[in-house]
Structures are given as structure tokens and as C-alpha cells.
Structure 1
Amino acid sequence: MNQPLRIVIAGGGTAGWMAANLLAHRFATIPIDITLIESKDIGTIGVGEGSTPTLKRFFQTLDIAEHQWMPACHATYKVNIKFNGWSGDDNASYSHPFFSQLDVHSERSFYVNALTRRLGLDVETTPDRFFMGGYLAKKNLAPIPSHNFPFAIEYGYHFDSHKLSEFLKQHAKRLGVEHIEGDIASVGTSVSGAISHLTCKDGQVLKGDFFIDCTGFSSLLLQKTLNVPFTSFSNNLFNDSAVVLATPAIDHMPVETESSTMSNGWCWQIPLRNRTGNGYVYSQQYQDKDKAEYELRNKLNLLDSDVEARHLTMRVGQCEQHWVKNCLAVGLSQGFIEPLEATALHLVQITIEQFATYYAKGNYTEKYQQHFNSAMTERFERIRDYIVCHYKLNGRTDSQYWTDNRENMQLSESLLSLLDVWYRKGDIVQEIKRQDIGKHFSAASWHCLLAGYRVFPEIAQHQPASLEEQGDLFEENKLSTFFNRCSLNFEKQKTLFTSAV
């Protein structure tokens, strides 16, 4: 390149600053100028957010140690998501632990027991009893083992998204990213229809070779300027709103997110070091915002409190194309799948990483644009399917919302095939391989969901004599003893943080 590649990022927030950092890192070997413009009037809502283990790779890529960013963002570790009440019993719950290297010793036992239970035999199928993350969550142990423990542990984080944005901003500036505070007045295009420049309200003009749209749901560049259509997921994901409230920090500092059902949706509990983030995700088709706020306040014992509640609206779905001409949408501007599985930042990160790979492979041209768009569309759809399955299988009967979700037949062929194999007592591991969808949610994740909901037939009245003689297959494999002894290599999250001060 004779001239530096000019990349302009429109919008900050976590998505914008993740993009700035990753692109500055990935393209560090070529002449490049990265500029990010953000409005000082639009702040990030720091109610507490969770991630998947993908975010750990993000910080490792940038060589940012946990002791550098976690205290600054009030972050805690996350090894598990606990789902309360989804099967219809308010007292029933199941867990989805993150899969670690250690779990290769128990994964097959879980699959075998799940199939055995589908055949009518009474065996252990509780997901968190087969994975190390489940034991860490129950004991509130941080996923950082002693030096002599030979297995890698996977985990995500809980964090203050506003604080994280600020941290990433400062890091990006150290990498050479130019930061401009300002508001975009108009978007200019060339004869070919590509974006040529942004004009700020103060008259400043930002020219670029490539533009990243991080302007949120407004999608100023991709949707409003390039007129890329939006595909809604509202026919099978009903939720479009949320109300959020902060409460004091939980003293024992859990290492898991909790997702509990409400009358017309579900609420999250995300434990940070300095407070707890709570939010109720619901559908305005079934409940108005005032009733939703009342229900959340009542659950949190805040009916008489003056703690401020904030109301959010969501547009669930994705753009028909994520990369068009010389513009890539990242974050809410490209699409959004409701936060049940904390996939928002996962999709941001994957989008940037995949774009950087294809863009460089195509010699910084649009050569692999279609490959990228197909891959991202597929990823959004398969993540949607996994979340839709939570609602389709729900056992609640206390509102029309839950009944309509259960009776909804707007399901993809992929999800229908998975459920068909499960109900027919087939090999769902092979079905996931056949569809090549394990890179989105693994066979272990699907087993956690389906076994967690107890999607099983009635237990056969007469159990085989061999099973009665052996006792529970789970105990026969001694997995509980194995994991409990492994957990001796970990310490309480609160203790870990206190000793680090």
C-alpha cells in the first residue's frame, strides 16, 4: 500500500472500542489510520453484562492481563448460567456450565446417560454434575486453579459495560487509534454508492477507505445510508423490551449468571464486585412497561425504593448483509439476539475477527464479502435457534405469553431436525456433526438444554436387573468424587479478589 488504509469507526461503546482494538492489532503490520468518532451525549448503559468464554480470547489476543482490566470494570468470573423456573416449576432449575478441557473425562458419560434416560431408564442426567463448571458454581470457586493443576478451565466474565468501554478506549488510543468526540450530521457516498465520508455537526469531515458502523439500533451507515434490509426474528423471539435495576453486591460473590422466568419473560441476575445487575426482558405485546417494572421491583423487594429503573427497547433480528460495499456493521447496528445466552459481545468479537481474516485474505478488497456474509448470517440463525428452543420447551402455564411460546411452530429446519432426533432417541451428537453447527453451540450445550428441561419419556416401571444391581450409573463412574477432589485446587472468588488487593 502506498497510502495508509483509512478506517473510520462510527460510534463507540463496547462494540466500537472492541473493533478499534482488534483491527489495530490485526492490521498492525500494514500502514493504517483508525479513527473512532462517538457522541459524548450517548452513554453506555452499565447495568452489568455477561459474556461467553470467547471474551477471554479477546483479552489474550491483545495481551491484556486480567489484573489490568477486571478491577477497573468491577468484573467477576462466570463459569455457569443457572436457569430457574423454565420447566414450569418455580423451584426447579438447571445449569449450563462452560465446557473445559477437564470435561473430556465426563462428556461421554453425560451423553450416554442422556440416551439411556431417553430409553426410559432411571439414571442421573443433571447437567452440572457432569462438568467442572457446575461444581465451581455451587462452591463459588473462581476458575483459576493452583499452579499444579494440569487442566485449562474455560470461563467468561461479568462486568460493567460502561467501565469496559472506557478501559478499551484508553487501550486503543495507546495503540494509535484517533478518538474524536462529536456528532455525525450526514453520511456522504460516492458515485458507486460506497460511503466516502462522514460530516460532523461542527463541520469536520472524516474521509475513509472503510467504515465500521457501531451506531447501535439506528444503524446510521449500513441500514439508513446503504439501505440494507433488516430481517426480524419476532415471529419466534417475542421479547422486545427490558427494564433494569441495580441492587447491592452479593456478599458471597457468585460465579454464575441466573436467568429466572417471570410472568411474560425472564430476568437476569449478574453479580459484579460493586453491585448486582438485574433486568427483566419481556414482550410489550403481553405486558406494558409499568407492569413490567412493578413485577421486577416486587421480585427484588424494591417496591418502596427510589432506585431508578431504566427502560430499554430491542429490535431482535439481523441485517440481510453485514458487510456491504465498504461498510461493516458491528454490534446492535448489524443485529441483536436477546441476551438469554449472553451472546452479544460474542457476536461482536466473531464479526470483527472474521472480517479481519477475510479482508486481509482478499488483499483488503471485497473479494470474500459474500463468504463473510453467509457465515455471519448462519451464525446469527443458529444462535437464534438455541435461544428459541428455551421458549419452545418451556413448561409454564401461568400466562398466555408462555403458552404462545410453547405452541409456536415458527422453527427452522435445523432446530426441527435436532428435536426430531432427540425425541426419536437418535444420536444427536451425529446430527450436530451432520449439520456442522457445533461451532455455534456444542453437543454438550444442546445436552445441557434438553436434559436440563428433562425432555424425557416417563421412567419405565420395570428397570433392568443389571441397573438395579449396579445402582446409579453416575455414582458407578465416580464422577462426583472426581470433580469434588479437583475442586480442592480452587479458591473462593471473593477470597481470590481480596488476596489480590
Structure 2
Amino acid sequence: MSEQPLNIVIVGGGTAGWMTANLLAKRWQHKAVKITLVESPDIGIIGVGEGSTPTLKRFFDDMQIAESDWMPACNATYKVSIRFDGWSPESGVNSYAHPFIGQLDTFSERAFYVNCMTRRLGLDVNVKPEDFLFNGWLANYYRSPKTPANFPFRIEYGYHFDSGLLGGFLQRYAQTQGVTHKALKITGVKYHPSGDIKELHTAEGQTIQGDVFIDCSGFRSLLLQQTLKVPFQSFGNNLFNDSAVVCATAPLTPLPVETRSTALSAGWAWQIPLTNRTGNGYVYSSAYLDPEQAEAELCKHLGLNRENTQIRHLKMNVGQVSEHWFKNCVAVGLAQGFIEPLEATALHLVQTSVEIFMDHYEKGGFSDQYRHAYNAVIRERFERVRDYIVAHYKLNTRNDSEYWRANRNNEALSESLLQLLDVWFRRGDLQQEIQRQKLDSHFGATSWHCLLAGYGAFPRLAANQPNTGDLYKEHNLETFFSGCLLNFAAQ
């Protein structure tokens, strides 16, 4: 770095903007870096309640922010699993869970894989993911994932939280770390002769100069897409959902430690338990359902009187930009792309995008030397997460609407996903195929087994059953996990 401070300007606040500010400030606290976040005072936060993967726990650990400080401020609860209801009824599976994977599961993952292979051979053995993974037990018994001091294994977990409150909390924390906040409306952009962004002009008459600009302006993508004209690549040919209708209901008692995703006629409904309320939403395709119908269906699903319910409508751009880092601008969050919220990957992609950017920027001596390598990595991350979400729709066995049949008949699948499904249905080694494709960056072998087994993606049972070979029984996993569960209290 030169003797002049590196001037980083973040455009847009919210959870993505302030998470970015905190990550940059923490990593480069001992370097000559100045961080300014500019957000319009006119633009509000969606704040519908959100869930995370365990990556967010690492973020707070890295920031040295205690759960006792941020969770009460954001009405947050623990999350150990995602439950899917009604996605594959014709297979005989009405509900399954995708628990987060922790250290305890090293004792049972192999048995889960073997049982899945045994079931693919037509034998009747237990393949319920929540039986083989300890977080499934925590979720079923409403137990907190916080481990007692004498418990020797680490439990992985995420959170449910009010995204509006979390953005505010992260803003206050970032300002204590030296981040400058400016509530200004950007009205213009000036360029260097190279095409890099030089400065921002605001309605209040201020000029904000920067060396690096981080676009966290949401779906508007003010800098990367609107100003620098980087194209957006839609995933609409294999992810149909583009809309959501949301509302809040009373808090649940007892508080679940899992998100619930329930298949409806043209999409699915989420249930996110917070301490003060329950966040609900219906993610759907506007090609198959209009907003009025979506409202009515969500209210019926929740048992609500539509006339007395506050409902909001949202639109989603599902896809990613062709280049996440272009010129001296990096897009983060909704400005870079979005994969629908089915597996709560949004903040995971924010966090990893910023961390990987910092790695590449440092490696290049605080230059754009590794910009193309960065873009390749992030594009790949988005595409592989997309594939995992697409598989939820492709494998569905619902026949109650054209929407579900169209998803099942959709042939717009990536080569990576086609190879995974081919290995599974040919009774090959799925773990080996995932390693071959180097897919462990987000959804690894256990997650894929959860999805495929959870959907009941198996052949018919063989006529003759030996009634042996069920490792769940032979390894006595029920006794093992039941004993472990005694160490955990209710949330």
C-alpha cells in the first residue's frame, strides 16, 4: 500500500452494508484504511426477519461480539436446522429436516451414507437425516445448541433475527471501529479516464472520493449495474420464484430452533421464530400466481383473517452479475445477486464474498491483480448454491399444480447438478463425486444426502427384505444421541 490511506466507500447500509464495513474494519484495523459508508436516508430496510447459516456465528466470533450483546437487541433465536414440509408427498416423505452439521456427526455420518446406499439398493433401512445428525435431535426436542462447559464437542448453529434491527446494531458497532457514516442521497458519479469511479455527488452538495467502492445498494445495484453497466444474468430459467408476500404473527411457544419451509401451490412459505414475533412469508412465481392469490393463500395457510393482517409484497431478482468486481467497484449482497431464500444463503454469500475479496486484494498488494480470479471464484459459489436450491424443485413429487409439474419437468440443469443426480440414481459414490467436483465450499456430501434422502429419492423397496444392515439400529445411534441430548436445555 502507498503512504496515502486507502479510501474505501461503501454505498448502502442494511445488514449487507454494515457487515461489509465491520469485516473490512476488523481485518484492516492496523493498516492505513479509511472506510466510509454512505446510505440514503430515504431508503428503508426490508426487515422481514431472516435466518442464517453457521457462518454468521463465525462472523460474530471474529468481531468479538458476544451473543448476550447482539441477540436480545435483534430479537434473535438459535437455529440448528431447516425443516421442509410437503415437498415430496408422493415418495411417502411428508416432512424432513436438513440439520447443520457439527463435530458429533463424525460418529454417524458414515452410517448415514451407508444406509442411503443400502436404501438405494432397495432395502428398508432408516434414512431420516434428522435421526443421524445431532442437530436434528436438538430441533425435535426444542433444545438450545449452547454447550455446557464439560461437553467436549462443538455444535454448529445459526440464528433467526430481525434484519432491520441487526443492520442497526452492526451500524453502531462499526462506528465504534472507526467507520464513518454519512446519510446522503447519491445523485451522480464521476469517473477517472480509466473508467474507474472517482467520486460520488450527493443531493446535499457533498463530494465523496474513493479508491475502492463497495456497492451494497440492494437490487438497485446503483454503482455496478446502473452506473458501470455490468450485466445481470438471471437464473429464471431454473429458479422460477420472483416474488414474496410477507407478514408477522405472534411468537411461538415453545420457541423452535429451526426454520420451517412449507410447500404451497406455487412456491413455499417460511416460518422464522423470533422472540417477539414470528416472521412469515410466501415465496412464489408470479408466472403461476398473482399477488392477490398469494396473499389469500398465505393467510389461509396461517389461519389469518386477511382483512386484519398487515401484508407487504416484495419482488426478487434471482441471479448474479456477470462480474462481481469490475473496475474499482465490488458488489456485495443483493447488488451482486440473489438466490432465493430457501436455504438462508444470502448472508453467507455476503460474508464469504467480502472475505474472499480481502484475500485477493491483499494477495495482489492492494491492487486489482487478482480481480479475474476473484470473479471466477464468486461466480462458481453462486452457481453451486443455485444448483442445490434447484434440486429442491427438480426432485419434488407434488402434482397439485402446474407450477410443481413445471419445476419437475425443467431440463435447465447445470452439468454439475446432472452429474450429481446421475451418480445418485446409478448408486454411485456421491461423496466421491462431490470431492471430484470440489463442491465442499458450501453444500457438502452430508447436505446432499440430507436432500436426496429427505425427498425419498429412492427406488421401490425390494420384495425380499433381509431385515439386517440398518446401521442406525446396529450402531445404536438413538441411545447415543439421546444421551448427548441430556446435556442441553430448552432455548
TM-score (norm. length: structure 2): 0.98
How far does residue 476 in structure 1 lie from its aligned partner after superposition? 1.5
CA contact (8 A) 2:93 2:454 kept: no
Residue number among 195, 220, 223 corresponding to 1:221 in the alignment: 223
Map of 1:252 onto structure 2: 254
Map of 1:455 onto structure 2: 457
How far does residue 189 in structure 1 lie from its aligned partner after superposition? 1.0
Residue number among 196, 204, 216 corresponding to 2:206 in the alignment: 204
Map of 2:153 onto structure 1: 151
Equivalent AA in structure 2 for residue 278 of structure 1: N
Distance 2:173 2:441 in 1: 30
How far does residue 440 in structure 1 lie from its aligned partner after superposition? 2.1
Equivalent AA in structure 2 for residue 481 of structure 1: T
How far does residue 226 in structure 1 lie from its aligned partner after superposition? 1.0
Distance 2:106 2:314 in 1: 41
Residue number among 481, 484, 491 corresponding to 1:483 in the alignment: 481
Map of 1:499 onto structure 2: none
Alignment of 1:255-404 (within 5 A): 255-404=257-406
Distance 2:360 2:18 in 1: 20
Equivalent AA in structure 2 for residue 240 of structure 1: D
Map of 2:117 onto structure 1: 115
Equivalent AA in structure 1 for residue 448 of structure 2: W
Distance 1:34 1:93 in 2: 46
Q: Deviations over 1:456-496 (max 9, x none)?
A: 011111123xxx3x474311210011001001000000xxx
Is 1:416 aligned to 2:409, yes or no? no
Equivalent AA in structure 2 for residue 47 of structure 1: V
CA contact (8 A) 2:93 2:456 kept: no
SS of 1:266's equivalent? Answer: strand
Distance 1:346 1:93 in 2: 25
Is 1:28 aligned to 2:29, yes or no? yes
Distance 1:448 1:326 in 2: 41
CA contact (8 A) 2:296 2:306 kept: no
Q: Deviations over 1:71-125 (max 9, x none)?
A: 0000000000000000036981000000001100000000000000001111110
CA contact (8 A) 2:321 2:337 kept: yes
How far does residue 227 in structure 1 lie from its aligned partner after superposition? 1.0
SS of 1:270's equivalent? Answer: strand
CA contact (8 A) 2:93 2:455 kept: no
Equivalent AA in structure 2 for residue 230 of structure 1: F
CA RMSD of superposed structures (Å): 1.0
How far does residue 298 in structure 1 lie from its aligned partner after superposition? 1.1
Map of 2:8 onto structure 1: 7
Distance 2:77 2:177 in 1: 26
Size of the aligned set, in residue pairs, is 489
Q: Deviations over 1:136-185 (max 9, x none)?
A: 00000000121111000000000000000000000000000000111100
Equivalent AA in structure 1 for residue 398 of structure 2: R
Equivalent AA in structure 2 for residue 423 of structure 1: F
SS of 2:224's equivalent? Answer: coil
CA contact (8 A) 1:195 1:327 kept: yes
CA contact (8 A) 1:10 1:36 kept: yes
Map of 1:103 onto structure 2: 105
Is 1:438 aligned to 2:440, yes or no? yes
Distance 1:473 1:206 in 2: 63
How far does residue 304 in structure 1 lie from its aligned partner after superposition? 4.7
TM-score (norm. length: structure 1): 0.96
Map of 1:498 onto structure 2: none
Residue number among 195, 209, 220 corresponding to 2:197 in the alignment: 195
SS of 2:88's equivalent? Answer: coil
How far does residue 303 in structure 1 lie from its aligned partner after superposition? 2.2
Alignment of 1:465-480 (within 5 A): 468=467, 470=468, 472-480=470-478
Q: Deviations over 1:267-306 (max 9, x none)?
A: 0000000000000000100000011011001111112552
Distance 1:351 1:110 in 2: 32
CA contact (8 A) 2:120 2:459 kept: yes
Q: Deviations over 1:176-234 (max 9, x none)?
A: 00001111001111110000001011110000000000111111100111111111000
CA contact (8 A) 1:88 1:397 kept: no
CA contact (8 A) 2:83 2:95 kept: yes
Distance 2:107 2:44 in 1: 45
User: What percent identity do the matched residue pairs reach?
Assistant: 60
Equivalent AA in structure 2 for residue 144 of structure 1: K
Map of 1:65 onto structure 2: 66
Where structure 2 has 5 or more consecutive residues not aligned to the other structure, the ranges are none
Distance 2:381 2:63 in 1: 24
SS of 2:227's equivalent? Answer: coil
SS of 1:169's equivalent? Answer: helix
CA contact (8 A) 1:294 1:303 kept: no
How far does residue 248 in structure 1 lie from its aligned partner after superposition? 0.4
Equivalent AA in structure 1 for residue 203 of structure 2: K
SS of 1:489's equivalent? Answer: coil
| Divergent runs of 4+, >2 A | 88-91, 470-473
How far does residue 261 in structure 1 lie from its aligned partner after superposition? 0.4
Equivalent AA in structure 2 for residue 388 of structure 1: V
Distance 2:136 2:62 in 1: 27
How far does residue 390 in structure 1 lie from its aligned partner after superposition? 0.2
Alignment of 1:127-146 (within 5 A): 127-146=129-148
Distance 1:173 1:57 in 2: 21
Equivalent AA in structure 2 for residue 88 of structure 1: P
Equivalent AA in structure 2 for residue 488 of structure 1: L
Distance 2:152 2:191 in 1: 55
Q: Deviations over 1:358-392 (max 9, x none)?
A: 11111110011111100000000000000000000
Distance 2:374 2:306 in 1: 51
Distance 1:28 1:180 in 2: 20
Equivalent AA in structure 1 for residue 421 of structure 2: L
Map of 1:185 onto structure 2: 187
How far does residue 307 in structure 1 lie from its aligned partner after superposition? 2.3
